[in-house]
Amino acid sequence: MTRTEPTEPSTEATEATATSKAFFRHLADERQLAPHTLTAYRRDLRDLGDFLTGYYGTPEWRWSDVDRLTLRAFMGWGERKGLARRTLARKLSAVRTFFRFLHAEELLDQNPARTVRSPRGERRLPEHVGRQELDRVFALAETEAAANTLPGTRSLLILELLYGSGLRLAELHGLDVEAMDVVGEQVKVLGKGRKERIVPLTRSAVRALRRYEPRREETGVSSRRGPLLVNPRGERLSRRTIQKTVRKVLEEAGAGAGVSTHSLRHSFATHLVDGGADLMAVKELLGHVSLNTTQIYTHTSKERLQRVYRSAHPRS
């Protein structure tokens, strides 16, 4: 048999790979993005690479070959694959960030993604849980916590922090005991982009924490340091377990279909806006970079008022 020598990767492929590695080092080390965000960026750029190989008819292409029309073709490719507009917009955002990096590092003379328009999608109102449903949720959680077990007391604390302080799942998962200031009734949170912010703790959250602390210490962890939420082995509780815990209580309390850990954060913001809270204050509490992101909660509030009006006013 004739032995076939392995094919050396082309110069173009080697350069594209090296450039991608430099970009992800930039995201991880300088921008300090979360691991799941890095995974999404990798997936989006991999899709772009797969498209370019088919588009050019060869794997031997360079990033400098890509122009605005090519990126528009990439968006059309995604649309033909049935991707939602929100997904396409996210992919374009990742591509823009990548080409902005290449241009800033003088690896490209210009940024071809700068003028590519993002697909305009419908603005979806966030799912949130109503106050009556939340009353049932917390009544059920209080009943389970009264048994004074690790899962029961932990479940109540999870709900209090998600709804009472508006935390993201990733923020709650990463919380350490040292971040909790019980005397000042506040917690230090590490949000997106590793930006720290201080958010209030409700008094009911403080009570839930006090109830949970003895059960946490029974797992053998330090009372003064380490992960806040732990499993019976004293290890940091996984995100999946947090999600399952919240979903279980919400479903048993009849809070409705499609609600999740993030629904409690949406509820936190929606109820603040409904109660007349200043939008800038809500923005800071949520850790949003842009006020435009927070303004969706004003739409949620208006939508609720419209429903009330249409169902209650005799001439509506």
Active-site option among 91, 154, 168, 271:
168
Helix 203-217, helix 131-145: angle, nearest 10: 30
Active-site option among 41, 163, 212, 297:
297
What whole-number distance in Å separates Cα of residue 260 and Cα of residue 244?
9
Active-site option among 26, 42, 68, 262:
262
Assess whether 288 carries a catalytic annotation. Answer: yes
**Among 31, 55, 124, 42, CA closest to 91:** 42
Active-site option among 128, 216, 265, 266:
265
What whole-number distance in Å separates Cα of residue 9 and Cα of residue 59?
10
Assess whether 315 carries a catalytic annotation. Answer: no
Active-site option among 90, 100, 288, 304:
288
What whole-number distance in Å separates Cα of residue 153 and Cα of residue 132?
22
Active-site option among 96, 192, 207, 247:
192
DSSP E strands, the chain: 180-181, 186-190, 196-200
Assess whether 123 carries a catalytic annotation. Answer: no
Longest dimension (CA), the chain: 88
The CB density around residue 30, as the number of other CB atoms within 10 Å, is 9
Assess whether 304 carries a catalytic annotation. Answer: no
Assess whether 309 carries a catalytic annotation. Answer: no
Q: In terms of DSSP bridges, do strands 196-200 and 180-181 run parallel, antiparallel, or are they unpaired?
A: unpaired
Assess whether 265 carries a catalytic annotation. Answer: yes
Backbone φ and ψ of 142, nearest 5°: -65, -40
> Which residues carry out catalysis?
168, 192, 262, 265, 288, 297
